[in-house]
Structure 1
Protein backbone atom coordinates (compact mmCIF):
# COMPACT_ATOMS: atom_id res chain seq x y z
CA UNK A 1 0.00 0.00 0.00
CA UNK A 2 1.22 3.54 -0.59
CA UNK A 3 0.22 7.04 0.30
CA UNK A 4 2.54 9.75 -0.95
CA UNK A 5 6.10 8.66 -0.12
CA UNK A 6 4.92 6.26 2.62
CA UNK A 7 4.60 2.51 1.94
CA UNK A 8 3.47 -0.49 4.01
CA UNK A 9 2.24 -4.03 3.51
CA UNK A 10 -1.01 -5.51 4.76
CA UNK A 11 -2.47 -8.99 4.45
CA UNK A 12 -6.00 -10.04 5.29
CA UNK A 13 -6.48 -13.67 6.28
CA UNK A 14 -8.97 -16.14 7.67
CA UNK A 15 -7.56 -19.25 9.35
CA UNK A 16 -10.01 -22.15 8.94
CA UNK A 17 -7.44 -24.90 9.64
CA UNK A 18 -8.32 -25.24 13.33
CA UNK A 19 -4.59 -24.91 14.13
CA UNK A 20 -2.44 -21.91 14.92
CA UNK A 21 -0.35 -20.84 11.92
CA UNK A 22 2.79 -18.75 11.66
CA UNK A 23 3.02 -16.03 9.09
CA UNK A 24 5.68 -13.64 7.87
CA UNK A 25 4.86 -10.41 6.06
CA UNK A 26 7.81 -8.86 4.22
CA UNK A 27 7.95 -5.42 2.59
CA UNK A 28 10.86 -4.94 0.18
CA UNK A 29 11.62 -1.45 -1.03
CA UNK A 30 14.13 0.17 -3.33
CA UNK A 31 17.79 0.05 -2.34
CA UNK A 32 17.48 -3.34 -0.62
CA UNK A 33 15.51 -2.00 2.36
CA UNK A 34 13.33 -4.70 3.95
CA UNK A 35 10.78 -4.74 6.78
CA UNK A 36 9.75 -8.16 8.09
CA UNK A 37 6.91 -8.80 10.52
CA UNK A 38 5.98 -12.12 12.17
CA UNK A 39 2.26 -12.51 12.89
CA UNK A 40 0.36 -15.21 14.76
CA UNK A 41 -2.78 -16.48 13.03
CA UNK A 42 -5.04 -17.75 15.79
CA UNK A 43 -6.82 -21.09 15.41
CA UNK A 44 -10.31 -19.72 14.82
CA UNK A 45 -12.42 -18.79 11.84
CA UNK A 46 -12.44 -15.03 12.44
CA UNK A 47 -10.95 -12.66 9.83
CA UNK A 48 -7.67 -11.00 10.78
CA UNK A 49 -5.02 -8.66 9.44
CA UNK A 50 -1.28 -8.26 9.69
CA UNK A 51 0.37 -4.97 8.74
CA UNK A 52 3.98 -3.77 8.64
CA UNK A 53 4.97 -0.40 10.04
CA UNK A 54 4.71 2.45 7.57
CA UNK A 55 8.07 3.54 6.17
CA UNK A 56 9.29 6.37 3.97
CA UNK A 57 10.13 5.37 0.40
CA UNK A 58 12.44 7.41 -1.76
CA UNK A 59 11.73 5.21 -4.79
CA UNK A 60 9.22 5.79 -7.54
CA UNK A 61 5.57 4.95 -6.83
CA UNK A 62 4.97 1.22 -7.03
CA UNK A 63 8.63 0.30 -6.47
CA UNK A 64 7.96 -1.66 -3.24
CA UNK A 65 6.98 -5.34 -3.20
CA UNK A 66 5.24 -7.33 -0.45
CA UNK A 67 5.32 -11.07 0.25
CA UNK A 68 3.05 -12.89 2.73
CA UNK A 69 3.88 -16.47 3.77
CA UNK A 70 1.75 -18.72 5.97
CA UNK A 71 3.20 -21.92 7.41
CA UNK A 72 2.15 -24.63 9.82
CA UNK A 73 3.16 -24.67 13.48
CA UNK A 74 6.02 -26.72 14.83
CA UNK A 75 9.79 -26.56 14.27
CA UNK A 76 10.68 -24.16 11.45
CA UNK A 77 12.59 -26.88 9.56
CA UNK A 78 9.53 -29.16 9.58
CA UNK A 79 6.65 -26.67 9.20
CA UNK A 80 4.97 -26.95 5.81
CA UNK A 81 4.62 -23.78 3.72
CA UNK A 82 0.88 -23.46 3.12
CA UNK A 83 0.65 -20.21 1.17
CA UNK A 84 2.97 -17.64 -0.39
CA UNK A 85 1.41 -14.59 -1.98
CA UNK A 86 3.10 -11.50 -3.37
CA UNK A 87 2.39 -8.15 -4.89
CA UNK A 88 3.86 -6.86 -8.05
CA UNK A 89 3.22 -4.00 -10.41
CA UNK A 90 0.55 -4.59 -13.00
CA UNK A 91 1.96 -4.97 -16.53
CA UNK A 92 1.76 -1.67 -18.38
CA UNK A 93 1.11 0.38 -15.20
CA UNK A 94 2.29 3.97 -15.41
CA UNK A 95 4.10 6.05 -12.79
Structure 2
Protein backbone atom coordinates (compact mmCIF):
# COMPACT_ATOMS: atom_id res chain seq x y z
CA UNK A 1 0.00 0.00 0.00
CA UNK A 2 2.85 2.39 0.74
CA UNK A 3 4.34 1.80 -2.72
CA UNK A 4 1.02 2.61 -4.34
CA UNK A 5 0.70 5.84 -2.32
CA UNK A 6 4.28 6.84 -3.23
CA UNK A 7 3.57 6.14 -6.92
CA UNK A 8 0.44 8.25 -6.89
CA UNK A 9 2.27 11.08 -5.08
CA UNK A 10 5.11 10.98 -7.63
CA UNK A 11 2.63 11.07 -10.49
CA UNK A 12 0.88 14.09 -9.00
CA UNK A 13 4.20 15.90 -8.55
CA UNK A 14 5.14 15.25 -12.19
CA UNK A 15 1.78 16.53 -13.41
CA UNK A 16 2.02 19.62 -11.23
CA UNK A 17 5.58 20.38 -12.40
CA UNK A 18 4.67 20.40 -16.14
CA UNK A 19 3.14 23.93 -16.12
CA UNK A 20 6.25 25.19 -14.29
CA UNK A 21 8.54 23.59 -16.87
CA UNK A 22 6.48 25.14 -19.66
CA UNK A 23 6.63 28.57 -18.04
CA UNK A 24 10.42 28.36 -17.70
CA UNK A 25 10.90 27.05 -21.21
CA UNK A 26 8.69 29.53 -22.98
CA UNK A 27 6.85 28.67 -26.18
CA UNK A 28 9.72 26.73 -27.80
CA UNK A 29 11.27 23.89 -25.73
CA UNK A 30 13.98 22.90 -28.22
CA UNK A 31 15.08 26.28 -29.50
CA UNK A 32 14.07 29.48 -31.14
CA UNK A 33 14.35 28.22 -34.71
CA UNK A 34 17.72 29.90 -35.15
CA UNK A 35 19.78 26.71 -34.79
CA UNK A 36 21.49 28.04 -31.66
CA UNK A 37 19.20 26.42 -29.10
CA UNK A 38 17.06 28.35 -26.72
CA UNK A 39 14.15 27.99 -24.40
CA UNK A 40 14.62 25.63 -21.47
CA UNK A 41 17.92 24.22 -22.75
CA UNK A 42 19.55 27.62 -23.04
CA UNK A 43 18.22 28.71 -19.65
CA UNK A 44 19.98 25.69 -18.16
CA UNK A 45 23.20 26.55 -20.02
CA UNK A 46 22.98 23.54 -22.38
CA UNK A 47 22.99 23.23 -26.16
CA UNK A 48 20.55 20.83 -27.88
CA UNK A 49 23.29 18.15 -27.84
CA UNK A 50 23.50 18.39 -24.05
CA UNK A 51 26.89 20.10 -23.99
CA UNK A 52 27.25 23.35 -22.07
CA UNK A 53 27.46 26.50 -24.17
CA UNK A 54 28.06 30.18 -23.50
CA UNK A 55 25.05 32.47 -23.52
CA UNK A 56 26.92 35.09 -25.58
CA UNK A 57 30.25 34.75 -27.32
CA UNK A 58 32.48 37.75 -27.95
CA UNK A 59 31.17 38.02 -31.53
CA UNK A 60 27.45 38.03 -30.61
CA UNK A 61 25.83 41.42 -30.32
CA UNK A 62 24.35 42.27 -26.95
CA UNK A 63 20.60 41.91 -26.69
CA UNK A 64 18.87 45.24 -26.29
CA UNK A 65 17.03 45.97 -23.08
CA UNK A 66 13.56 47.42 -22.87
CA UNK A 67 13.17 50.62 -24.86
CA UNK A 68 13.65 53.77 -22.85
CA UNK A 69 10.58 55.88 -22.30
CA UNK A 70 10.95 59.47 -23.46
CA UNK A 71 11.45 61.97 -20.69
CA UNK A 72 8.39 64.04 -19.79
CA UNK A 73 8.91 67.32 -17.96
CA UNK A 74 6.01 68.61 -15.87
CA UNK A 75 5.36 72.00 -14.33
CA UNK A 76 2.49 71.70 -11.88
CA UNK A 77 0.60 74.05 -9.64
CA UNK A 78 -0.31 73.17 -6.07
CA UNK A 79 -2.86 70.54 -5.11
CA UNK A 80 -6.09 72.39 -4.33
CA UNK A 81 -9.38 71.32 -2.78
CA UNK A 82 -12.91 72.65 -2.58
CA UNK A 83 -15.27 72.15 0.36
CA UNK A 84 -17.65 70.23 -1.94
CA UNK A 85 -15.28 67.23 -1.99
CA UNK A 86 -13.17 68.07 -5.05
CA UNK A 87 -9.38 67.92 -5.23
CA UNK A 88 -7.33 68.88 -8.28
CA UNK A 89 -3.83 69.63 -9.53
CA UNK A 90 -3.07 70.96 -13.00
CA UNK A 91 0.16 70.62 -14.99
CA UNK A 92 1.81 71.55 -18.27
CA UNK A 93 3.75 68.60 -19.70
CA UNK A 94 6.48 68.63 -22.35
CA UNK A 95 8.01 65.64 -24.13
CA UNK A 96 9.66 65.10 -27.51
CA UNK A 97 8.81 68.58 -28.80
CA UNK A 98 5.14 68.37 -27.80
CA UNK A 99 3.27 70.28 -25.08
CA UNK A 100 -0.06 69.47 -23.44
CA UNK A 101 -2.07 70.06 -20.29
CA UNK A 102 -3.28 67.57 -17.71
CA UNK A 103 -5.42 67.97 -14.63
CA UNK A 104 -5.53 65.25 -11.99
CA UNK A 105 -8.68 65.20 -9.87
CA UNK A 106 -10.72 63.29 -7.31
CA UNK A 107 -14.43 64.06 -6.93
CA UNK A 108 -15.89 62.72 -3.69
CA UNK A 109 -18.74 65.26 -3.63
CA UNK A 110 -21.41 62.80 -4.72
CA UNK A 111 -22.39 64.32 -8.07
CA UNK A 112 -20.91 64.51 -11.54
CA UNK A 113 -19.17 67.72 -12.59
CA UNK A 114 -17.97 69.36 -15.79
CA UNK A 115 -14.36 70.39 -16.28
CA UNK A 116 -12.76 72.64 -18.86
CA UNK A 117 -8.99 72.36 -19.28
CA UNK A 118 -7.28 75.14 -21.21
CA UNK A 119 -3.62 75.32 -22.25
CA UNK A 120 -2.35 78.75 -23.24
CA UNK A 121 0.88 79.11 -25.18
CA UNK A 122 2.99 81.73 -26.90
CA UNK A 123 1.53 83.93 -29.66
CA UNK A 124 -2.02 83.49 -28.37
CA UNK A 125 -2.15 79.75 -29.03
CA UNK A 126 -4.88 78.06 -26.97
CA UNK A 127 -6.10 74.47 -26.74
CA UNK A 128 -9.23 73.65 -24.74
CA UNK A 129 -11.02 70.41 -23.89
CA UNK A 130 -14.19 69.60 -21.94
CA UNK A 131 -14.18 66.58 -19.61
CA UNK A 132 -16.93 64.85 -17.66
CA UNK A 133 -15.90 64.31 -14.04
CA UNK A 134 -17.64 61.31 -12.49
CA UNK A 135 -18.46 61.23 -8.79
CA UNK A 136 -16.49 58.73 -6.75
CA UNK A 137 -13.33 58.21 -4.78
CA UNK A 138 -11.26 57.04 -7.76
CA UNK A 139 -8.75 59.57 -9.10
CA UNK A 140 -9.15 60.70 -12.71
CA UNK A 141 -7.56 62.98 -15.22
CA UNK A 142 -8.48 65.37 -17.96
CA UNK A 143 -5.89 65.88 -20.70
CA UNK A 144 -5.62 68.05 -23.81
CA UNK A 145 -4.23 66.71 -27.07
CA UNK A 146 -0.46 66.88 -27.46
CA UNK A 147 0.50 69.72 -29.78
CA UNK A 148 3.83 70.70 -31.35
CA UNK A 149 5.66 73.04 -28.97
CA UNK A 150 5.93 76.60 -30.24
CA UNK A 151 8.18 78.06 -27.59
CA UNK A 152 9.93 77.48 -24.30
CA UNK A 153 8.09 75.31 -21.76
CA UNK A 154 7.83 78.29 -19.41
CA UNK A 155 5.75 80.14 -22.03
CA UNK A 156 2.85 77.70 -21.47
CA UNK A 157 0.29 77.59 -18.70
CA UNK A 158 -2.78 75.47 -18.04
CA UNK A 159 -5.98 76.12 -16.11
CA UNK A 160 -8.70 73.63 -15.18
CA UNK A 161 -12.11 74.85 -14.06
CA UNK A 162 -14.55 72.48 -12.36
CA UNK A 163 -18.24 73.40 -12.28
CA UNK A 164 -21.67 71.98 -11.46
CA UNK A 165 -23.41 71.32 -14.80
CA UNK A 166 -27.01 71.75 -13.63
CA UNK A 167 -26.37 74.88 -11.55
CA UNK A 168 -25.69 77.26 -14.46
CA UNK A 169 -22.03 76.29 -14.39
CA UNK A 170 -21.33 77.43 -10.82
CA UNK A 171 -17.55 77.29 -10.47
CA UNK A 172 -16.34 75.03 -7.65
CA UNK A 173 -12.59 75.06 -8.21
CA UNK A 174 -10.00 76.63 -10.51
CA UNK A 175 -6.62 74.91 -10.62
CA UNK A 176 -3.64 76.22 -12.56
CA UNK A 177 -0.20 74.99 -13.55
CA UNK A 178 1.45 78.14 -12.26
CA UNK A 179 -0.86 78.97 -9.37
CA UNK A 180 0.76 80.45 -6.33
CA UNK A 181 0.58 78.29 -3.25
CA UNK A 182 -1.98 79.67 -0.77
CA UNK A 183 -0.35 81.85 1.83
CA UNK A 184 -1.21 81.86 5.50
CA UNK A 185 -3.06 85.00 6.42
Instruction: State the TM-score bracket (shorter-chain normalisation).
Output: 0.7 to 0.9
Structure 1 counterpart of 2:135: 43
TM score, norm. by length of structure 2? 0.45
Pick the structure with greater CA Rg.
2
- For CA contacts below 8 A with separation 6 or more, give which structure has more relative contact order: 1
RMSD (Å) for aligned C-alpha atoms: 1.8
In 2, Cα distance between equivalents of 1:15 and 1:7: 26
Q: Post-superposition, which runs of at least 4 consecutive aligned residues in structure 1 deviate over 6 A?
A: none
Alignment-derived partner of residue 85 in structure 1: 175
Unaligned runs of 5+ in 2: 1-92, 181-185
How many residues align structurally?
88
CA 1:89–1:47: 2 relative to 1, 3 Å? closer
The residue number in structure 2 matching 1:62 is: 154
TM-fit CA distance, 1:57: 1.5
Tell me the distance in 1 between the aligned counterparts of 2:148 and 2:139.
28
Q: Distance in 1 between matches of 2:119 and 2:137?
A: 26
Gaps of 5+ in 1: 91-95
Normalising by the residue count of structure 1, what TM-score does the alignment of the two structures yield?
0.84
1:48 & 1:7 partners in 2: Cα distance? 20
Higher helix share: 2
